[in-house]
Structure 1
Amino acid sequence: MIEPGRNIAIKVPAHQWQETVEFYRDRVGLPIARTVQDSVGFTFGALTLWIDRVSHQSRSDVWLEFFSDDPDAALDQLQGPTRDELEPLDGVTGHWTSDPSGVVLLVRQPRKDERWA
């Protein structure tokens, strides 16, 4: 079974990052939930919307997270390519893949505190 995760990330080129953070904070009015190096997470309903600064990127991308108790089976179900080279999955059991249009998807096992119900 595949279900929505709790994170959405917008990967933003470094030269647009500050202005993009200010847009979501000041114009949209989203509260900041968490800040880590090169990333600001905003409360987005029950989700966290991450604005990530990516120095080697020339355009913005949206990345989505999905939960599955069996990420390998979920990857087979999605029939997407394995793209684990995109970003390290330190301490996470899962895989990076993408949909047919190229949207990056993280399919991973949720921690017990991350389940919706």
Structure 2
Amino acid sequence: MILGLHHAQITIPKGSEDKAKEFYCQILGLPEKEKPETLKGRGGFWLQVGDREVHVGTEDRFDRLTTKAHLAYQVEDLAHWRKVLVQNEIEIIEAVPIPGFERFEFRDPFGNRVEMIQSV
């Protein structure tokens, strides 16, 4: 039996942890969660997102702009996040509408596709 989702992982280029922490921890305001000692030497970092985790790993020679794979962050104030991202020069991509939700997409500074979604 599958009980739920524990974490999801995205990747960034090796050595770009500081830039990624600036985006994910400072701009998006996600708190960093300490990795277990046994995994600290592998690079990357972990984020706490509500009661789940996003693991940010490192991976080179991968074109993140070619994939539709993404994370969708559920938010309470979609307009706020649109404003924050635009102020930080992140291009907003209008998403195809789906019933019961407002949403938009963007690419993080490394090319990862990200969605912000709000129930209506």
Higher strand share: 1
User: TM-score category by the smaller chain?
Assistant: 0.3 to 0.5
| TM-score, length-scaled by structure 1 | 0.43
| TM-score, length-scaled by structure 2 | 0.42
